[in-house]
């Protein structure tokens, strides 16, 4: 199932469809292995056996498991970002857009817990490069929240002024709520967060809860 997620999700040039398919299988295998055993325990053998490729094929694409994992994190982040780009149609009223966006985010994370775990949990154990990718997700979340704040203000909602630090803190709170549930192995606990998250964002913006 995961293999279909990696279309166009890598920066590396590919030598034809066979190599592209092989790389996608290895990225999917890395995600599955990390979700099952944790990043620190994954070996090249785990990846090659799951992806049905030889060790030589693995080393044609990646220097080691850490570079494969970084590529997988990047692909996971691209997948999530692509899904959320259309989560809140512009024609909807601002509050409804916010509710739709947060609901779609939680639905996607709950439906793809392995991908979510790689991005938000296991990246914490993979050193500075993986953390940098995770910080990009954090910055992207803060930018999304700024967009919602601006849209609410433009619609005449009495939002309070917010700073970059305000938005960073709000994004961090949302990511922490999600990460704790993924780390505990309970993706089903994500969807019930929806109403609380909507209230959290609105009250942080100085608005009454729905």
Q: Give yes or no: residues 112 and 144 share one domain.
A: yes
For residue 47, the enclosing domain spans 2-67
Q: Give yes or no: residues 16 and 59 share one domain.
A: yes
Q: Give yes or no: residues 112 and 200 share one domain.
A: yes
In the chain, which residues have pLDDT < 70? Answer: 1-16
Q: What is the pLDDT of residue 33?
A: 94
Q: What is the pLDDT of residue 16?
A: 61
Q: Are 151 and 101 in contact (CB under 8 A)?
A: no
Residue 70 CA to residue 172 CA, distance in Å, equals: 22
- B/e letters for 77-113, b = 16+ CB within 10 Å, e = fewer, are bbbbeebbeebbeeeeebbebbbebbbbbbebbbebb
Enter the tokens of residue 166.
Answer: 């305000």
Q: What is the pLDDT of residue 169?
A: 96
Q: Are 120 and 181 in contact (CB under 8 A)?
A: no
- pTM for the full predicted model: 0.81
Q: Give yes or no: residues 122 and 193 share one domain.
A: yes
């Amino acid at each position: 199932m995961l293999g279909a997620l990696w279309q166009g999700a890598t920066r590396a040039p590919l030598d034809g469809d066979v190599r592209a398919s092989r790389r996608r299988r290895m990225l999917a295998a890395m995600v599955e292995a990390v979700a099952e055993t944790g990043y620190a325990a994954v070996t090249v053998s785990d990846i090659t056996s799951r992806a049905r490729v030889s060790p030589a094929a693995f080393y044609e694409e990646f220097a080691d498991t850490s570079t494969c994992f970084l590529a997988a994190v990047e692909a996971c982040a691209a997948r999530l970002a692509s899904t959320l780009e259309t989560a809140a149609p512009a024609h909807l009223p601002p509050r409804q857009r916010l509710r739709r966006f947060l609901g779609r985010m939680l639905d996607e994370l709950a439906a793809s817990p392995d991908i979510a775990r790689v991005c938000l949990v296991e990246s914490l154990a993979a050193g500075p490069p993986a953390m940098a990718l995770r910080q990009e997700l954090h910055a992207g979340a803060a930018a999304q929240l700024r967009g919602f704040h601006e849209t609410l203000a433009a619609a005449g909602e009495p939002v309070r002024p917010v700073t970059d630090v305000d938005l960073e803190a709000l994004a961090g709170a949302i990511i922490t709520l999600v990460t704790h549930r993924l780390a505990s192995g309970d993706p089903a606990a994500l969807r019930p967060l929806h109403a609380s998250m909507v209230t959290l964002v609105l009250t942080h913006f100085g608005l009454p809860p729905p």
